[in-house]
Amino acid sequence: MRYDERVKEEEKKAIEEKKKKQSQENTNGADAGDSSSGGGKTKVRLLGKVIVVVPYYSPRLVIQTVGTVLRVFFHPCLIPFLIDLSNREKLVISLSFMFCDFIGVNYAGNFDETIDPSEKVPSQSHFLFLITRDLTLHLIWISTISLVSFIVWNIWTCKFEFTNSSFFLLILASVNGFIGGIFTGRGLNGCFPILEYYNGQGTIGDDIIKLDNIINDIALSFDYIMCFLMSLFSNITERFILNHKNSREYILRNNKGDLSIETVNALLMQFKGVL
């Protein structure tokens, strides 16, 4: 009898210990779930705080966007590949653009983007001060975008012959590659110094400045999104221009009797489509 009672007591103890372990495991799992959900909420809250201050450094996001437009929308899909040049000339121009773009991105790191508040005129707003501080950059991008837009327009109309010069396009691609690289680099590098400037003015708290890694991630993500959009728009524009260049009206109006084999075949396909 004593032996049976002892066995029963040991079985009860084993069952109680098993229940205790299960309750501890359930408690630990609940704590881990709460901590993970709390960590996720914290990350979302920090991301929200960073997104709210994006308009503050929008002047540099504009500079960064211009660099992306030059590097992805205009080159090399539209210029030089839609211009009547040999494949060798197109290759040389494209390689020159990429090489100068690489140099521009690396050279952008040599600029000191620190903002001196003493340069601000008392009557200026902070936003106007930041715009006028980069006035030279804005004048450069307006001139550059206007020039490449004119060339794309001339691809459509063929009114000016000098834009088909391989030497002119080589110089243009080299300069635009360098400018696009600098604009992208300076746009990315100049975002955080703007927030530091606003922090010195008491507009932004120190808690935002401590989130420099998230701020950089936001700027890079914006650049990736713009690259995707500009690539998409560039392909759509290329399709429109190619369809226009293969039309009968364009061929008959712009070739002036000097028809290549490719042009004759394209013209023949147009007439076959009508018949």
Asked if residue 2 and residue 136 are part of one domain, the reply reads no
Asked if residue 164 and residue 97 are part of one domain, the reply reads yes
Q: Which residues contact 205 (CB under 8 A, 6 or more apart)?
A: 199
Q: What angle do CA 140, 212, 115 make, to 5 degrees?
A: 45
Asked if residue 158 and residue 218 are part of one domain, the reply reads yes
pLDDT the model gives residue 99: 96
Find the CATH number of the domain harbouring 209: 1.20.1250
pLDDT the model gives residue 237: 94
Average pLDDT of the chain to the nearest whole number: 83
Of the given ranges (55-59, 157-161, 250-254), which has the lowest mean pLDDT?
250-254
pLDDT the model gives residue 28: 52
Asked if residue 174 and residue 194 are part of one domain, the reply reads yes
d(CA 224, CA 228) in angstroms, rounded, equals 6
The pair of three-digit structure tokens given for residue 134, joined into one six-digit string? 């980069």
Assess whether pLDDT exceeds 80 at residue 15: no
Asked if residue 87 and residue 7 are part of one domain, the reply reads no
d(CA 33, CA 249) in angstroms, rounded, equals 68
**Domain-embedded: residue 197:** yes
Asked if residue 108 and residue 1 are part of one domain, the reply reads no
Instruction: Identify whether the C-beta of residue 254 lies closer than 8 Å to the C-beta of residue 93.
Output: no
**Domain-embedded: residue 262:** no
pLDDT the model gives residue 209: 87
d(CA 93, CA 169) in angstroms, rounded, equals 7
Over residues 90-148, the pLDDT tens digits come to: 999 999 999 999 999 999 999 999 999 999 998 999 999 999 999 999 999 999 999 99
Which whole-number Å values give the CA distances from 194 to 61, 126, 129, 172, 188, in the listed order? 11, 10, 11, 32, 11
Asked if residue 126 and residue 112 are part of one domain, the reply reads yes
**Domain-embedded: residue 110:** yes
Domain count for the chain, please give it. 2
The pLDDT of 23-48, averaged and rounded, is 58
Asked if residue 129 and residue 44 are part of one domain, the reply reads no
Q: Which residues contact 49 (CB under 8 A, 6 or more apart)?
A: 207, 208, 211
Asked if residue 31 and residue 18 are part of one domain, the reply reads yes
DSSP state string for 21-84: HHHHHHHHHHHHHHHHHHHHHHHHHHHHHHHHTGGGGHHHHHHHHHHHIIIIIITTTTTTTTSS
Over residues 172-225, the pLDDT tens digits come to: 999 999 999 999 999 999 999 999 999 999 888 888 888 888 888 888 999 999
In the three-class reduction of DSSP (H, G, I as helix; E, B as strand; rest coil), residue 257 is classed as coil
Asked if residue 78 and residue 12 are part of one domain, the reply reads no
**Domain-embedded: residue 265:** no
Assess whether pLDDT exceeds 80 at residue 25: no
**Domain-embedded: residue 145:** yes
d(CA 88, CA 94) in angstroms, rounded, equals 10
**Domain-embedded: residue 137:** yes
Instruction: Identify whether the C-beta of residue 126 lies closer than 8 Å to the C-beta of residue 194.
Output: no
Ramachandran area for residue 256 (φ above 0: left; ψ -120 to 50: alpha; else beta): left
Asked if residue 208 and residue 109 are part of one domain, the reply reads yes
Asked if residue 176 and residue 47 are part of one domain, the reply reads no
Of the given ranges (30-44, 74-88, 255-269), which has the lowest mean pLDDT?
30-44
Domain carrying residue 26: 1-52
Q: What count of other Cβ atoms lies within 10 Å of the Cβ of residue 160?
A: 11
**Domain-embedded: residue 252:** no
pLDDT the model gives residue 244: 87
pLDDT the model gives residue 264: 66
**Domain-embedded: residue 270:** no
The pLDDT of 41-47, averaged and rounded, is 75
